Amino acid sequence: MNKNSNPVALLAFAFRPFFLLTGLYGLVIVAAWMSYLFGGLPLPLGWSSLHWHSHEMLFGLTSPAIAGFILTAMCNWTGAPPLQGKGLLALVLAWLAGRVVMWTASWLPVGLVAVVDMLFLPALAIYVARVLLRHGNKRNLILVGILALLSVANLLMHIGFVTGKTLCLTFGELLAFNLITMMMVVIGGRIIPAFTGNWLRNNRGLTNVVKPCPQLDRLTLITTALLIPADFLISIPAVTGVIALLAALLNALRLWHWRGWLGAKEPLLWILHVGYLWIVLALLFKGLAAFTLVPPSAWQHALGVGGMATLILGIMTRVALGHTGRPMTLPNFAVIIYVAITLAALGRVLTALAIVNYSAGLMLSASGWILAFGLFTVIYWPILSRPRADGRPG
């Protein structure tokens, strides 16, 4: 759409509808899942319930958050006008259509479910690639590659469902976990030290505290990326375990270099460091799981409820303020979002480690999750659905 047009506020920038949908879907999916597990709520899933749950958390929940961030950030990277109006609406409807067929999968032909659910990620990847290439921004094409491979992971899960081959479902799930981890490591490595350094300079007068460390960054990215072939090509648990433990160590060193404790007074800052810490813990648990020292569900939930959900909420709460012309100050009561998602992650990981009773731990984790995503939706709905506070377009 022409940048001089005037779409409604909700369709003026990609972060607006996609962040709201992420908040709403995060609330709905866990509330429905707990009702299914403990309340006998009938859901026409069609899939095995655990794989459906995994699919919707990996592809249904994270994909709008990824879309909202990348489509917004790349306007800064390239100077391109934002996707808005009818074009943005079409992409939103593609995501919504995927959720409709996944929630009614047992009522529909399996091929239709697969085709409709797979529309969103390839469409997003193609649009992002076109904009980046048009503006000569090759540095960020790695994100297009990750989006394309996420589409492959989604395809693998659908093939597994159609054919009944559990191995395809597992490979799709593992590939999605690794790719989302890679995306968080790439994006986190760009925004967290930058935000931290800026805040320390502006609020504490500290300069050159957060120093770039290109060699550490490069080694961390390579090691984290090696988990993909380790899981699929080598398939030797000990190799995967060693790589995961090394990736945990390197990501921990990277996080330490960012000096997050110096910004402990700013919730919009420390939540990003907490989210990245969950990635470190998830990689540690993955390494230990390869040697059967902890169950695999420990690293999966440390990554999903800890790393993914925490960074999603941390980034959405920050971006929504900055891109709507509001002060970079967390709204009243919004810090509860961060506390709640942290408790949710702790509860789910402790449950996976069998430290907490399964039913009690699940209820605690779900309650924290629902509170976090529900409160985000309530507090940020007016921020995301109304025009910018400073009167500027976007």
Place of tokens 């309650």: 367
Q: What are the distances in angstroms from CA 95 to CA 98, 184, 228, 276?
A: 5, 21, 26, 27
pLDDT range class, residue 3, cuts 50, 70, 90: very low
N-term to C-term CA, the chain: 13
> Tens of pLDDT along 303-316?
999 999 999 999 99
CA distance linking residue 60 with residue 95, whole number of Å:
8
Supply the pLDDT for residue 2.
Answer: 38
pLDDT range class, residue 229, cuts 50, 70, 90: very high
Q: How large is the average pLDDT for residues 223-237?
A: 88
Whichever domain contains 232, its CATH number is 1.20.210.10
Supply the pLDDT for residue 5.
Answer: 40
- Tally of domains in the chain: 1
> Tens of pLDDT along 138-165?
999 999 999 999 999 999 999 999 988 9
CA distance linking residue 226 with residue 247, whole number of Å:
9
Maximum Cα interatomic distance, the chain, rounded to a whole number of Å:
61
Torsion-angle region of 258 (φ positive above 0: left; ψ -120 to 50: alpha; else: beta): alpha
Is residue 3 included in any domain, yes or no?
no
Is residue 281 included in any domain, yes or no?
yes
Supply the pLDDT for residue 234.
Answer: 67
- State the DSSP string of 202-262: HHH---SSS---HHHHHHHHHHHHTHHHIIIII--HHHHHHHHHHHHHHHHHHHHHTTGGG
Q: Is the pLDDT of residue 233 over 80?
A: no
Three-state SS across 8-52? CHHHCCCHHHHHHHHHHHHHHHHHHHHHHHHHCCCCCCCCCHHHH
Q: How large is the average pLDDT for residues 298-306?
A: 97
The closest of 58, 242, 72 to 151, measured between CA atoms, is 58
Q: Around Cβ 309, how many Cβ atoms within 10 Å?
A: 29
Supply the pLDDT for residue 41.
Answer: 82
Answer whether 0.75 is exceeded by the pTM: yes
Beta carbons of 112 and 101 less than 8 angstroms apart: yes
Is residue 257 included in any domain, yes or no?
yes
C-alpha 23 chain-centroid distance? 12
> Tens of pLDDT along 60-73?
999 999 999 999 99
Supply the pLDDT for residue 7.
Answer: 56
Q: What are phi and psi of 258, to 5 degrees?
A: -85, -5
pLDDT range class, residue 394, cuts 50, 70, 90: confident
> Tens of pLDDT along 160-169?
999 889 899 9
CA distance linking residue 102 with residue 98, whole number of Å:
6
Is residue 331 included in any domain, yes or no?
yes
* Domain range for 62: 12-385
CA distance linking residue 100 with residue 183, whole number of Å:
26
Is residue 391 included in any domain, yes or no?
no
CA distance linking residue 363 with residue 358, whole number of Å:
9
Is residue 393 included in any domain, yes or no?
no
Higher pLDDT among residues 7 and 243, named by residue? 243
> Tens of pLDDT along 343-378?
999 999 999 999 999 999 999 999 999 999 999 999
> Tens of pLDDT along 84-138?
999 999 999 999 999 999 999 999 999 999 999 999 999 999 999 999 999 999 9
Is residue 390 included in any domain, yes or no?
no
> Tens of pLDDT along 5-57?
445 889 999 999 999 999 999 999 999 999 998 888 888 788 888 999 999 99
Is residue 213 included in any domain, yes or no?
yes
